[in-house]
């Protein structure tokens, strides 16, 4: 308790840990083999640290895979990474 407020219990579970791990692995490979992802990663890494940049790539891949499943369209790196 601090100032009459309960602290430290926000965002206790931030998603499925196995799915998060899988997208992190996919982000590693995307950065190695996809120029668009590598360019986004380098740009993000210059402003923050490498871990935050890697998680940003993983988040973009997660959003891209959701749209692929929802709209039944093939993967397009230019849409995912601009």
Query: For 24-78, what is each residue's pLDDT tens digit?
Result: 999 999 999 999 999 999 999 999 999 999 999 999 999 999 999 999 999 999 8
Which has the closest alpha carbon to 54: 68, 42, 64?
A: 42
Closest C-alpha to 24, from 51, 2, 5, 1: 51
User: Residue 61's closest CA among 18, 31, 17, 16?
Assistant: 31
Q: What is the pLDDT of residue 12?
A: 67
Give the mean model confidence (pLDDT) for residues 6-29: 85
* Whole-angstrom distance, CA of residue 26 vs CA of residue 22: 6
Residue 15 has pLDDT above 90, yes or no: no
Question: Could you tell me the sign of the dihedral formed by the alpha carbons of 36, 79, 63, 70, in that order?
Answer: negative
């Amino acid at each position: 308790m601090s100032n009459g407020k309960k602290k430290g219990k926000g965002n206790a579970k931030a998603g499925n840990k196995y799915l998060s791990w899988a997208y992190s692995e996919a982000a590693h490979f995307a950065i190695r083999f996809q120029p668009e992802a590598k360019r986004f990663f380098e740009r993000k890494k210059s402003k923050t640290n490498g871990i935050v940049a890697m998680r940003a790539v993983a988040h973009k891949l997660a959003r891209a895979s959701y749209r692929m499943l929802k709209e039944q369209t093939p993967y397009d790196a230019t849409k995912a990474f601009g």
